């Protein structure tokens, strides 16, 4: 490792981190902790470190970013014009997201990331429609994202409307068919439906895409799910079945 990629310590805002993140630190075997406090001295060094990280390290790194955001001590790195110029020629996002279009869930901010870090597709109800699957295949297979994260959120209007089976104008109801299984299984409970919908969309992503399933089998990609809380800013993991087999 060259000297400019030598990690430096950022004071942790909170040492009471979830087990997942502590495990990440132990498993990382890298010069940075996947808990997120040890990072490179430069944006280039950060990218090199992320390049060496495993999918589970990156997942832990994302959760540590969310913790920084939710506790009010974001690093807000990679958000200046130097970073814009650095990634102008080439992007190598380390994670890909399927999130809701809701204005209150801006994914880079929620996970304390910046330009060139995340490959994000957003659509109401975070549904894995075929166009989104195609985008995420590009983000993972071509660009090399190692985590594919489906992010739902509390009080999601698309999920709520599906539960109510609202009569809606235009093509809005086209979203409902994707969310209906979760609405049904939840027996009308919105929070449960949001969680089940994350799980269902993650399964759809893995099952409808041989490309994504292959990356998972090869250990190059981890699929994860979570729910963002509009009140606290925190993302809680959603347990997923074994995917990609
Ligand atoms: Zn939503």
CA 152 to centroid of ligand 1, rounded, Å: 7
How far apart (Å, rounded) are the C-alpha atoms in residues 182 and 160?
11
How far apart (Å, rounded) are the C-alpha atoms in residues 99 and 108?
11
CB 94 within 8 A of CB 147: yes
pLDDT value at residue 36: 45
pTM summary value: 0.85
Q: How far is CA 235 from the centre of its chain?
A: 10
CA 125 to centroid of ligand 1, rounded, Å: 5
Higher pLDDT, 115 or 35: 115
pLDDT value at residue 25: 36
CA 223 to centroid of ligand 1, rounded, Å: 20
How far apart (Å, rounded) are the C-alpha atoms in residues 31 and 40?
9
CA 155 to centroid of ligand 1, rounded, Å: 7
Q: Which residue in the block uniquely carries the two structure tokens 């979760």? A: 182
CA 101 to centroid of ligand 1, rounded, Å: 6
Higher pLDDT, 75 or 167: 75
CA 159 to centroid of ligand 1, rounded, Å: 7
Give the C-alpha distances (Å, rounded to integers) separating 113 from 43, 86, 109, 233. Answer: 11, 15, 6, 15
pLDDT value at residue 242: 83
227-237 confidence digits (pLDDT tens)? 999 999 999 99
pLDDT value at residue 23: 36
How far apart (Å, rounded) are the C-alpha atoms in residues 114 and 96?
13
165-224 confidence digits (pLDDT tens)? 877 888 888 899 999 999 999 999 999 999 999 999 999 999 999 999 999 999 999 999
CA 122 to centroid of ligand 1, rounded, Å: 10
CA 158 to centroid of ligand 1, rounded, Å: 6
């Amino acid at each position: 490792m060259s000297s400019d990629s030598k990690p430096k310590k950022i004071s942790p805002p909170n040492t009471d981190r979830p087990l997942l993140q502590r495990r990440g630190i132990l498993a990382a075997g890298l010069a940075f902790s996947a808990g997120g406090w040890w990072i490179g001295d430069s944006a280039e060094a950060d990218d090199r470190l992320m390049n060496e990280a495993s999918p589970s390290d990156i997942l832990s790194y994302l959760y540590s970013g969310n913790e920084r955001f939710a506790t009010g001590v974001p690093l807000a790195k990679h958000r200046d014009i130097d970073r814009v110029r650095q990634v102008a020629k080439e992007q190598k996002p380390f994670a890909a997201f399927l999130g809701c279009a809701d204005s209150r869930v801006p994914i880079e901010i929620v996970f304390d990331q910046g330009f060139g870090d995340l490959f994000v597709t957003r659509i109401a109800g975070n549904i894995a429609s075929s166009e989104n699957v195609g985008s995420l295949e590009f983000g993972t297979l071509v660009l090399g994202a190692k985590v594919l994260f489906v992010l739902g959120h509390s009080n999601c209007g698309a999920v709520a409307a599906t539960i109510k089976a609202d009569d809606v104008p235009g093509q809005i109801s086209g979203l409902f068919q994707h969310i209906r299984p979760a609405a049904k299984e939840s027996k009308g409970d919105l929070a449960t439906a949001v969680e089940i919908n994350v799980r269902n969309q993650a399964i759809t992503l893995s099952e409808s895409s041989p490309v994504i399933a292959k990356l998972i089998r090869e250990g190059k990609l981890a699929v994860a799910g979570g729910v963002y809380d509009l009140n606290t800013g925190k993302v809680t993991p959603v347990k997923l079945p074994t995917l990609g087999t």
